[in-house]
Structure 1
Amino acid sequence: MKHLSGKLFISITAYCAISFSSQELAAQSDVLDINEIGNVDISTLLEDTKTFNTIGMGIALSIAECHGKDICEPTVDEGEIGQLIETLDQRIEGVVSRQQNSEEELTPIITAYVDTKEKYADYLERLSEISKPEPELPQEEFVEEDLFTDEDALTEDEYSAFDDFEEDLEDDEDLDEFEDEYDLE
């Protein structure tokens, strides 16, 4: 029971961290657009690095939840982490450009973004190593009403082959009755 409650706590914590962080990042993404990153104050950039760290904690918890399991479906996927890495690349480019064009000391912020990006790359690698369940395909994908066209229709000769097969089946049934009648089995 203790193990189960620990897993539940981790799941809830990961969900909360990812959900809250995604909303916070979405709210800040308007402020820290790549074109505007040169105009925001340093404290906003620091908060942005903290947001990415919080998201990273949620990703780490999601991956940790799958540790030791043969098959697991984490709450985060490679595409989401890839998007976050792309966003971090844009942030790094913007802050480096800003530092080159001004006398501000932004090295700690650049370092924080780069460190976070490296963590995300590690998460992406660890996530790719997790065995995920095979996706279940809905039955509708296998059923098509117009599966065969007129070109695929059987010719008379092909259709008559089925008649021959039907006669063979009837002969086999007669043979089964004969075996039953004389206990030949």
Structure 2
Amino acid sequence: MHTKYKIFLLTTFVLFSTCLQAVILNKEEAAKADLATLEDEIELFKSINMGITLSIAHCEGNDSCKLPMEEREVQQLVKTLEYRIDSLAARQSEIDDIIGFNKVLSAYISLRDSYSSYIERIQSIVMQYRNKNDPSQFGEEPDFPVEAAIDEELLDYLNELTLFEDDELKDDEDLGDDKDFPQEE
């Protein structure tokens, strides 16, 4: 089984199992959520984090890998995390459990930082992929598809073989070793 499919299945399983327990809260729910609900959401963000980590690790250095997520999707997660951090900072005076509050706040900050680093890594992977697949970096772009160039090279090679065989046949005819053949009258 391909590594890409294993990563996809693992990510799907992790997300499915955590979705049974938690969801990413909308702004209104997050503003009113208690610490236990926010901790459940943090676990979901950690699961997504693991899936992104595995996907990026699989695609780094792999020219033919297409990332299963886009930069804008990770940016949306960063925006959501930033909103959570701002929302918690605004609610700081209302929270009774300051230790739990600090734990949740630091978890959101840590996740935001890791997601931000993923954006940079995704950008570098996309740039590497574009650079390796961009024919303009090697000079002028060809007027024909690269596949056609490969086919032309093959055709030229086959033509050379045909010419070589024709030359050998002409050489054999010139030898005069035709005593085994019936004589023409």
Q: Find the counterpart in structure 2 of residue 12 from structure 1.
A: 9
C-alpha distance after superposition, 1:53-106 (max 9, x if no partner): 001111111111112213431001100000000000111111121113343310
Tell me how far apart the structure 2 counterparts of residues 40 and 88 of structure 1 sit (CA, whole Å): 14
- Kept after mapping to 1: 8 A contact 2:59/2:65: yes
Structure 1 residues 74, 66: closer, same or farther in 2, change over 3 A? same
Structure 1 residues 65, 15: closer, same or farther in 2, change over 3 A? farther
Q: Runs ≥4 in structure 1, deviation > 6 angstroms?
A: none
- Kept after mapping to 2: 8 A contact 1:11/1:65: no
Q: Find the counterpart in structure 1 of residue 46 from structure 2.
A: 53
Identify the structure with the greater helix proportion. Answer: 2
Alignment of 1:105-120 (within 5 A): 105=98, 106-120=101-115
Instruction: Give the TM-score normalised by structure 1.
Output: 0.59
SS in structure 1 of the partner of residue 66 of structure 2? coil
Of 81, 84, 90, which aligns to 2:74? Answer: 81
SS in structure 2 of the partner of residue 37 of structure 1? helix
> What displacement does 1:46 show?
0.5
SS in structure 2 of the partner of residue 76 of structure 1? coil
Tell me how far apart the structure 2 counterparts of residues 74 and 33 of structure 1 sit (CA, whole Å): 26
Kindly provide the amino acid, as one letter, of the partner of residue 10 in structure 2. T
Unaligned runs of 5+ in 2: 134-185
Alignment of 1:6-155 (within 5 A): 6-17=3-14, 20=16, 24=19, 28-29=23-24, 32-105=25-98, 106-130=101-125, 131-132=128-129
Kindly provide the amino acid, as one letter, of the partner of residue 126 in structure 1. R
Q: What is the aligned length?
A: 127
C-alpha distance after superposition, 1:153-172 (max 9, x if no partner): xxxxxxxxxxxxxxxxxxxx
C-alpha distance after superposition, 1:2-23 (max 9, x if no partner): xx64454223223444x538x9
Tell me how far apart the structure 1 counterparts of residues 36 and 95 of structure 2 sit (CA, whole Å): 17
- Kept after mapping to 2: 8 A contact 1:11/1:61: no
